[in-house]
Every structure is written in structure tokens, then in C-alpha cells.
Amino acid sequence: MRLQLLALLAKEPAHGYELKQALEQTFGNAYPSPNIGQIYVTLGRLEKDGLVRGVDVEQSNRPNKKVYHLTAAGLDTLAIWADEPTEGPRVRDEFFMKLVLAPMTGMADRMALITRQRRHYLALMQDLNQLLAATDRGNRYAILLIEGAMLHLQADLEWLDRCQEELL
């Protein structure tokens, strides 16, 4: 979450709760809502690394709040992030590891593993379908995030078919 927070702070200084709201509003319901505690912990680490600077702002009849600003070092880190390609397709798939290794333990058979996983993916697809229907068409980022998840699931399901054809 470090770079997401830095990117938001590049736009304007903000306190922790504002960052949480900005993430939720941008990415919509499909995005796992960030835990506020985790945001504060991350901001603390970013501050320790010199990437952000927290400034206490006094509030009348409420405790002070800390507003975070991006530092020059923070800006450099963001520039590197923006220039780099992002991680490509994974070759370290948790389910595939299980599919290959679990039968060797005698604890699971491949057909049962594939069937359970397929049902799990289909159930996730159904959830995403409902989420998509409930998402405001105007929120393009949220729509695209859900559509991306659906396309990945479709590929995962087709890969399961391939595994079933090849291994069973």
C-alpha cells in the first residue's frame, strides 16, 4: 500500500482517514477496504523512511490530527514506480502448487481438487457479477477493476480445464 498512499499524497497533503476514503471512492466496492490501522502503520513507516512528513494540526475541542506531505525523496520513489513495468503473469500459483504436490501426500486426489477449485471460482464469478450490477456505471475505475477480475477468473477456469485434460 506504500506507493498507493504516496501517489495520493502527491496530489495533495491528507490525513489517514482521508486517504482511506480516497481509495474507497476511487476503486469502489470490489477493492478490499483498507484497514485504517494499517494505513496509519504504513504512514508511520513512510515517515521513518523520509518519504512523507507528518505535521500536527491543532483542532478545537478534538485531538490534533496529523496531515501528511510528500517529501522530495517520496517524489523520487514515485517517479521510479511510475517508470517501471508492473509484475506480469504469475508463475507461482498457490492452487497449482497444491494440485501438483498434494496428491503425492496421499491426502487429496486431483479430480476433487479441481472440482472444488472450479466451484470456488464460479462462486467468485457470481459475486463479481452481483458487484458489477450494483456498481454505479459512472465509476469507470471500479467497473474496470471488476471486469479485470472477471477476465482473470475466466482464464483461471480455462486453465483448470487444461489441467483436467492433461493430468486426469
Q: Which residues bind another protein (CB under 8 A)?
A: 111-112, 115, 118-127, 129-130, 150, 153-154, 157-158, 161-162, 164-165, 168
Phi then psi for 54, rounded to 5 degrees?
-95, 135
CB of 164 to another protein, least distance (A): 6
Residues 6+ apart with CB under 8 A from 153: 121, 124, 125, 128
Residue 4 or 164 having the CB closest to another protein: 164
Q: How far apart are CA 74 and CA 97, in angstroms?
A: 38
CB of 167 to another protein, least distance (A): 11
Residue 100 or 150 having the CB closest to another protein: 150
Q: How far apart are CA 140 and CA 121, in angstroms?
A: 24
Q: Please return the burial class of 70, using the count of CB atoms within 10 Å of its CB with bins 0-12, 13-18 and 19+.
A: buried
CB of 123 to another protein, least distance (A): 4
CB of 38 to another protein, least distance (A): 21
List the grid coordinates of 81: 514506480
Query: How many residues belong to the chain?
Result: 168
CB of 137 to another protein, least distance (A): 11
Residue 84 or 165 having the CB closest to another protein: 165
Residue 21 or 154 having the CB closest to another protein: 154
| 33 DSSP 8-state letter | P
Residue 1 or 124 having the CB closest to another protein: 124
Phi then psi for 64, rounded to 5 degrees?
-60, 150
List the grid coordinates of 130: 452481483
